[in-house]
């Protein structure tokens, strides 16, 4: 679809780079010429000989560590052109039963962690008058949750989580604010709102909800990676503040 040199000499930092979606995005960027740093809580085993992608360990909730890692990437490679915030967690259960500790944990990683990474990347992108920030939202941040407790209370326990939805709605709004703040610096800020994506985290996703996806399948990590590649392209500087739905038609707006 794109030339293998689409991102030639661009430097990309992908958080959550060891998970399914993050790994797919990092691989897609590397395949199109970018120098990629994949950050995660733990670097995956067996990556020492991976010449295309550098793996580092990073906790996105630790502001000092985030800034230090971001500064080091920019110093070592000479720039920081693309930031993709994939690092995140899911958890399930009804609002009535959700412990406040779980609420705080989800927001700290999904929303505050994404903000800290954006904040650390902004000075580098402003300085070079170019940047692409791509945040990972979710259809659940738009549609009030996939579960239908009025039909099946069990769905709420297996597929509902107000903390996750609120964290992703916050990511969508943060994207809009940053897009306006950084537009004059040549930096675009967009988010991707995936629908249900097949992964270890969605193995318990109810079949009744899978059946509601119009394209009749769960999403794949590659679907999200292709969207992230599109938004990272240097030619797409007129697209900013957008939340791109990649959900198989389960939610349209």
Is 153 domain-assigned? yes
* Pairwise CA distance, residues 233 & 7, whole Å: 7
Is 6 domain-assigned? no
* Pairwise CA distance, residues 26 & 10, whole Å: 12
Residue ranges of alpha helices (H) inside 144-183 are 153-159, 162-182
Token look-up 């407790």 returns: 149
Cβ atoms of residues 158 and 203 within 8 Å: no
Q: Using CA of residue 235, residue 4, residue 194, residue 161, what is the dihedral sign?
A: negative
Domain ranges, residue 215: 11-246
Q: What is the DSSP letter of 219?
A: B
Q: For the CA atoms of 193, 119, 35, 43, what is the dihedral angle to 10 degrees?
A: -80
Per-residue pLDDT of the chain (253 residues; tens, 9 = 90+): 688 999 999 999 999 999 999 999 999 999 999 999 999 999 887 665 566 899 999 999 999 999 999 999 999 999 999 999 999 999 888 888 899 999 999 999 999 999 999 999 999 999 999 999 999 999 999 988 877 878 788 877 766 789 999 999 999 999 999 999 999 999 999 999 999 898 876 777 778 878 889 999 999 999 999 999 999 999 999 999 999 999 999 999 8
> What is the per-residue pLDDT for 54?
97
Is 76 domain-assigned? yes
> What is the per-residue pLDDT for 157?
74
> What is the per-residue pLDDT for 75?
98
* Pairwise CA distance, residues 207 & 190, whole Å: 31
**29 catalytic, yes or no?**
no
Is 1 domain-assigned? no
- What domain count does the chain have? 1
Is 252 domain-assigned? no
Q: Which residue of the set 2, 29, 77, 164 is catalytic?
A: 164
CATH of the domain at 214: 3.40.50.720
> What is the per-residue pLDDT for 1?
67
């Amino acid at each position: 679809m794109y030339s293998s040199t689409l991102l030639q000499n661009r430097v990309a930092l992908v958080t959550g780079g060891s998970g399914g979606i993050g790994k797919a995005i990092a691989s897609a960027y590397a395949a199109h010429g970018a120098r990629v740093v994949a950050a995660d809580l733990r670097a995956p085993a067996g990556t020492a000989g991976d010449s295309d992608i550098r793996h580092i360990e990073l906790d996105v909730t630790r502001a000092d560590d985030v800034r230090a890692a971001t500064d080091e990437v920019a110093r070592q490679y000479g720039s920081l052109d693309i930031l993709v915030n994939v690092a995140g967690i899911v958890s399930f259960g009804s609002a009535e039963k959700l412990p406040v500790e779980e609420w705080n944990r989800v927001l700290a990683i999904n929303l505050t962690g994404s903000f800290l990474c954006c904040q650390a990347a902004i000075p580098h992108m402003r300085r070079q008058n170019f940047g692409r920030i791509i945040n990972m939202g979710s259809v659940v941040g738009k549609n009030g949750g996939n579960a239908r407790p009025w039909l099946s209370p069990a769905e709420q326990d297996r597929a509902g989580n107000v903390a996750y939805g609120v964290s992703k709605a916050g990511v969508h709004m943060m994207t809009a604010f940053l897009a306006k703040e950084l537009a004059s610096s040549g930096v675009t800020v967009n988010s991707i709102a995936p629908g249900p994506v097949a992964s270890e985290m969605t193995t318990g996703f109810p079949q009744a909800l899978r059946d509601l996806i119009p394209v009749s399948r769960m999403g794949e990590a590659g679907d999200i990676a292709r969207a992230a590649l599109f938004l990272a392209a240097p030619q797409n500087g007129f697209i900013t503040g957008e939340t791109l739905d990649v959900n198989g038609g389960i939610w349209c707006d």
